[in-house]
Each structure stands twice: as C-alpha cells, then as structure tokens.
Amino acid sequence: MEFKPYYMPNSESKYLALRKSWAFCAIAIISSCATKPPLETGTFTPSELVELQRLDPTIQLDIRYATPHNFMGRPLYPQARAFLQRPAAEALAQVNADLKPLGYRLLVFDGYRPWRITKMMWDSTPPEKREFVADPRKGSRHNRGCAVDLTLCDLATGREIEMPGTYDEMSPRSYIAYAGGTAAQREARDLLRRLMETHGFTVLPAEWWHYDYKDWKSYPIQNVPFEKL
Ligand SMILES: [Zn+2]
C-alpha cells in the first residue's frame, strides 16, 4: 500500500478536523468534570471551619496526611492542621471533656479535607479497596467539614490507645462490629463510640475511627486548601 502523506481530499480533511475538535472538546469536558467538586443544588448553612486546636488545645493531633505515614505513602496536606464546622468542633470538645475523668483525651487524624485530596485518594485506590475511600463524584463528609477521623490517647502521656485495628487499615479489623482483638481494644473502641454518639456523631460501619456529625447534609462540599483557612 502506497502512503501519500500530502494528499487528502478537502472534504475528508474537514471531516477529520471536525472529529479532532469534537474529541478535544470531549476530553476537555471529561477532565474538567473530573477535577472539580460535584455541583450541588439547594441552600446550605454558611461554612464556618474552626481550627480544633484553637478551640481546645488539649485535643491532640496526628495529621497523618501531612506525613508519609498514611495509606498513600506520601504527604497530601502541606500543613498538619485539623478543622471542623463550628457545631461539630464544639461537640468534639465536649467529647474530649467527657474523656478526661476517664484518663483519656482525643487524638485526631483528620477533619475537614479539601475535595481534591479525596479525588487523589480515590484515583490511587484499587477498585476492590474503595469501600474505604469516598467517591469524589459524591464528595466526602470530610469535604463538608463534618467528618472526623480519631482515636483515644492517654491523658497524661499522649500515648495512642490500642484499638482492634490501626487507622486507615483496609481490612475487616476496621469494621466497628469486628469481634476480634483483645477485650481491652474492643472496650476502648466502644467507649469512643459511646461518647461520640452522645454528642451527635455517627460512626461509619466500615471504619471504627470515622465519625460524621449529624448536620453534615446542611454544609456544602468545599475545596479550600488549608493555607487559605
Ligand atoms: Zn474519615
């Protein structure tokens, strides 16, 4: 077959150009959908993200996504900070106060998470493990500033209390109903759950460390980076 690089009938050339421009538009539309938070309709409560340590400096932080010690293996946040919407942050401070007479306080791994970080996590997680990450097409309750990942630590030493599984572990040990582990580990997990529920939070069945605040539906998905808060 003879290859004629410089010959192309005019109509065919226009047809190909049109096809190329449509392909370009389609790629542009798909990529813009994929890099922006989902559009939400309706009215929302204005966001008031509060920095947890400003509200209650005795809440301890271990912001894993600001370090390489997370399931992604690299830092995703430029700053080790935690924010929640004001009512959720105030409720969390009450949980922390309730824990002190018991010899514990809260250790927070994550709070508000900009949407683009949720998207990065989803894209990097194999399909069979996606029950442990939020679908960016729906957004995460972390994106609304109404979800918190946390555990207990010792009030005096700050040492993390052992739970039946570790944070962000993608295994059945993460289920709130997991019956394995030691009795002490299960008691610690269940104490955290009891106090969080008392103050308006609900645990995610697949993740003992993840809690949603009751008003999460009334806040919009956000993509504001930590540096701008
Ligand atoms: Zn979470």
Protein residues near ligand 1, an ion, with CB under 5 A:
149, 210
Q: Which stretch of 48-52, 58-62, 69-73, 222-226 has the lowest confidence by average pLDDT? A: 69-73
Question: Cβ of 206: how many Cβ atoms within 10 Å?
Answer: 14
The question of whether 160 is a catalytic residue gets the answer no
| Total tally of structural domains belonging to the chain | 1
Q: Is 100 contained in some domain? A: yes
Q: Is 58 contained in some domain? A: yes
Q: Is 129 contained in some domain? A: yes
pLDDT, residue 55, reads: 98
Between the CA of 199 and the centroid of ligand 1 the distance, in Å, is 17
For residue 206, the enclosing domain spans 51-228
Report the C-alpha gap between 51 and 142 in whole angstroms: 14
Q: Is 87 contained in some domain? A: yes
Q: Is 112 contained in some domain? A: yes
Residues annotated as binding site? Answer: 142, 149, 210
In this prediction the pTM is 0.84
First to last CA, the chain: 64
Which residue among the candidates 2, 48, 169, 207 is catalytic per the annotation?
207
Which residues touch 211 (CB under 8 Å, ≥6 apart)? 147, 148, 149, 150, 196, 201, 202, 203, 204
Between the CA of 159 and the centroid of ligand 1 the distance, in Å, is 21
Between the CA of 16 and the centroid of ligand 1 the distance, in Å, is 48
Q: Is 114 contained in some domain? A: yes
pLDDT, residue 208, reads: 98
Q: What is the CATH number for 143? A: 3.30.1380.10
Residue type for 224, please?
V
Q: Is 93 contained in some domain? A: yes
